[in-house]
Amino acid sequence: MIAKTKEMELHVLLVEDDPGDVLITREALAGGKVLHTLHVVNNGEAAIEFLRRDGEHADAPRPDLIFLDLNLPRLDGREVLARIKSDDNLRRIPVVVLTTSAAEEDVLRSYDLHANAYVTKPVDFDAFMEVVRQIDEFFVTVVHLPPRP
């Protein structure tokens, strides 16, 4: 087991409007191998403000990983993904679409917009926790994340 240390801390941005899904994600990441700081915004406009460090998010850290729901208020996840991947300063941040939709159209469009992964949220609490843990495990132990600027 890798010890959780401040030096290994990962900043994860969760863009999610469902408080239950936020709670599950928070609990799943808390049990991971490295220290996580989970930053949560509940709509697409707030996600862009966080990433661009605008307004109340002026001191926001650059996330190492983004979990993005597609069905969001104010600015949907597809538009958020398009903006992230078209921005030279943000495009290298891995984005995992984590959504309830299993529609082929959503999967294809997300990959066309350069999502790094597309995961359909299980409806079962334990299964959802396990999926988040597996995503985390992959990005913590297998993937070499880009360095923070």
pLDDT in the model for residue 33: 74
pLDDT, mean of residues 105-132: 95
The pLDDT of residue 125 is above 80: yes
Residue 106 identity (one-letter amino acid) = D
Q: pLDDT confidence of 8, banded at 50, 70, 90?
A: low
pLDDT, mean of residues 24-32: 89
Q: Distance between CA 14 and CA 8 in Å, rounded? A: 19
The pLDDT of residue 30 is above 60: yes
Please give the distance of CA 73 from its chain centroid, rounded to a whole number: 16
CATH topology of domain 15-139: Rossmann fold (3.40.50)
Where are the domains positioned within the chain?
15-139
pLDDT, mean of residues 119-144: 90
CB 66 within 8 A of CB 12: yes
The pLDDT of residue 77 is above 90: yes
